[in-house]
Every structure is written in structure tokens, then in C-alpha cells.
Structure 1
Amino acid sequence: MSRVQLALNVDDVEVAVRFYATLFGVEPAKRRPGYANFVVTEPPLKLVLLENPGQGGTLNHLGVEVADVDAVDAEQTRLAAAGLASVDERGTTCCYAAQDKFWVQGAPDGERWEVYTVLADSPTFGAPSEAACC
């Protein structure tokens, strides 16, 4: 299983949740203060909403969610062979989930891409040093 992740900054997560629940016909898979994520089956999408007042309507980051750590490793190896550098983040907590992931460096227009798997749910968004994870 793989799906593209789109993480958006929104001014008001409650308003955004109502809109995207209607648009995609599903309720959020996870809700926390200032945060929601949707697991959309069709089209395959992980939509993450991050409340950042004044930044609404902007892209936070992009990603690819994969099934497991082996898939994270395989993608990192494949991209390294193609000459793309990455920054490893293993055993991190971000977006209310324990994750193993890496960030791809060198996108032509500077957009941030992560390739990740969720290891477990987390009660916290992330450690203070990881506040910029999303």
C-alpha cells in the first residue's frame, strides 16, 4: 500500500474538516487540536490539515506513505541510486504518530517530500525539537 500525502496549512481546522469531509465523503481518521488527517480510499490520498492561522491555503509538505519500514528502506535506496540525497528520521514522532521516514532533498522548486511509515499512534504531536516536522 502506498498513497500520496498532501499536508496543507489551514486557518481554521474545524472549517477545513467540514469542507474536506464533504469533498471526499469521509470523516477524519485522526483528530487532535489544530490537526486532522483523512485516509481517502478513492483517490488514494492521505490528507493532513495543520492549523496555522495566517498561512491557510498554502502547502506545508508532500509525502508518500508506505506500508512498512522495508518499503521506506527500499525507496531510500532507490532514490539514492538515482542521485537524490535524503535526510533520515528514524524513530521520530510527528503529526501524532511514531514514524520511520526520510526527507528527499533537491526537489527543483524546493518543495518538501517525505517517505514514511507509521509505526504507532502517539498522544503528542512531536517533541519540541521536532516541532518543524510538519
Structure 2
Amino acid sequence: MSRFHLHLNVADLDASVRFYTELFAAPPTVRKGDYAKWMIEDPRINFAISNTGRAPGIDHLGLQVDSSDELVALGKRLDSAGGTVVPEDAAVCCYAQSDKLWTEDPQGTRWETFHTFGDATTYYAAEAACATDGAACTPDVAAMKPKVATMGTSCCSPESGCC
């Protein structure tokens, strides 16, 4: 089963946490100094907000799946849709470890499809463990290239706006 994902960039994280806590009638399931996430069951959504220096508004949309097999199946559907699909394996981003597939719709809206398999202690990876050259977390999916082995670079830094 999949879960819809929406990530917003916000100007005031505390005010936004108060607003969405009231709206969803529940506190965030994850709360950090620069990030909060609600895993809502009705409607089934992974709703995340962050304050990492990007312009306020929608950062990206996505679908979260429960297994690697579901991610593979979703990847085939994305490929059939005709956009560039860029994998990002074992990404550390948004305080989680996930395998991801990134694409854009015809309007340029970024879509992140992902399977989360663990927690992380940081918002992003300090060392690149990504399957891309570091552009996977940029707004420009078309610029993504397969990763060239480089250590010490981050594909998911706060400046890049991932997650």
C-alpha cells in the first residue's frame, strides 16, 4: 500500500507545527529543529515541513511505499509515464534512510517515490551514499546524472532542498 507524500518549505517552523498540529489533531510523529513530519492515516499521507533556507511553498510531491518490491513496480510505472527517472539508493535525508526514485511531471513538479527502511540522526547525509552525482536533491531532475564515485560530497544537503 502506498501513502501520498507532500513536503512544504516553511518560513516559520514553530508556527507551522502549531498550525498543522491543530489541523491534523495530532502532534508530529517526527520533530526536529528544522523539520517535522506527520504520518496521517485519514487521509493516508506523509506530510513533511522543513525550514532549511529554501523559499516557502511546495518543495515536492511523492508516494511512499511499504517495500522494495512496491518501489520497483512504481518505478516501472514512472518509466512508462515518460519522464526521466533517477534512482537514489540508500539516501540519508529527512532523518530517514530510504531508497528513492526521482522524476518530474510535465509541469516540472518534482516527484519523489521512496521506500524508507530506517531512521537517521541527521537531516541529510554528510557523506554521499547516493546513486546520483549530487543533483538528485535539486529542483532540476533533468540535470541528474548517475553517480561518479566521489566521497565527501552531499547529495542531500539543506542547501540542495532534498526531501
Q: Could you tell me the TM-score, scaled by structure 1's length?
A: 0.91
1:96 equivalent in alignment to 2:112: no
The match for 2:124 is 126
How many percent identity over aligned positions? 37
Aligned pair count reads 132
Alpha-carbon distance, 1:28 to partner: 0.4
The match for 2:65 is 66
The match for 1:115 is 113
Q: Specify every segment of 5 or more residues in structure 2 that has no aligned partner in the other structure, as ranges.
A: 127-153
Secondary structure of the 2:26 match is: coil
Secondary structure of the 1:48 match is: strand
CA RMSD of aligned residues (A): 1.5
Secondary structure of the 1:31 match is: strand
Residues 5-43 of structure 1: CA deviation (Å, up to 9, x unaligned): 110011111110110011011110101111000011111
| 8 Å contact from structure 1 (residues 12, 53) kept in 2 | no
Secondary structure of the 1:8 match is: strand
Distance 2:125 2:81 in 1: 32
| 8 Å contact from structure 1 (residues 6, 48) kept in 2 | yes
Secondary structure of the 1:110 match is: coil
Secondary structure of the 1:109 match is: coil
Alpha-carbon distance, 1:52 to partner: 4.2
Between structures 1 and 2, the one with greater strand share: 1
Alpha-carbon distance, 1:88 to partner: 0.4
| 8 Å contact from structure 1 (residues 7, 48) kept in 2 | yes
Q: Specify every segment of 5 or more residues in structure 1 that has no aligned partner in the other structure, as ranges.
A: none
Segments of 4+ in structure 1 off by > 4 A? none
Alpha-carbon distance, 1:53 to partner: 5.4
The match for 2:77 is 78
